[in-house]
Structure 1
């Protein structure tokens, strides 16, 4: 039977920190995984109420010909426009949080991992009070820059802008119960995943 008291771990980190790699490793060890990025796409799919609200606010030009949300267009509309960004977040964020919570509470697993890239930016525990613990994947900014340049093939100015648009390391670490410093090898990340899996299984059982 699904647990209604599922032990939930929020997982976050800066761009190119390796948070997805850690989330996948915990999932492989038996944790239920809820991904905020995937849920964010689901809540704005055609036929969903959120998409109707978005088009009512922003206009039909944020839709593609097939009725899907034109994410690139919407990003341009909200870029550097705080009011418009907040309007979009007011439509989508409550639905994303509710969907993540419902997915976790209906899961059958020793514990749940909730991957939320913008957890610090989105209010941390104040907006996710049902998280029992938060783990932050941390790397130095210079390593983020190196990974982004190598991974995405973009210029340095864009990389710096992407990093600056997120919470800084201190803000993320301030909400952390557990920290994984991901500056080593994938083998090191496996060791960290083993340690966290044992920890969270024990806390969930208690």
Structure 2
């Protein structure tokens, strides 16, 4: 890890009640042990491992997870994807739908930046409107770039996604018809 600024180093080892909040407090031994256990589990079971960064929101921790074997990082929001990319993470999946045009323009520009650096950006979609809005933003802000798209399936939570079967197939076909969008698979969340 990079050396911490002097003001942060001075806080290492303080008791929790001496810290100003909000503050990320990490038991480094426990974190490293948990990362090793998860990486070992993924390897033993032939699984690709893409941890969600919503708990730590830290590029340093995301990169630490990748050095242990994670294939990338998941985030919930456009701003979180931008922050991780600024910190050196090159494979990011936004596990939520982005519909607002200004945010989609940011997504398109980020996809182009990551692609130019040999990375990738993926985004979950669950509607034909979301797919078309993403394609329009890509054409406007990053005409030479491509973005990976995951069709989100509702697996029973009723929160987001489309039902499996024909509705999901229709969205996958819509993605496949658009040159700047690359169908990367399915996404589901059951919390």
**TM-score above 0.5:** no
- By relative contact order (CA 8 Å, sep 6+), the higher-ranking structure is 1
Q: TM-score, normalised by structure 2?
A: 0.34
Q: TM-score, normalised by structure 1?
A: 0.32
Which structure features the higher share of helix residues? Answer: 1
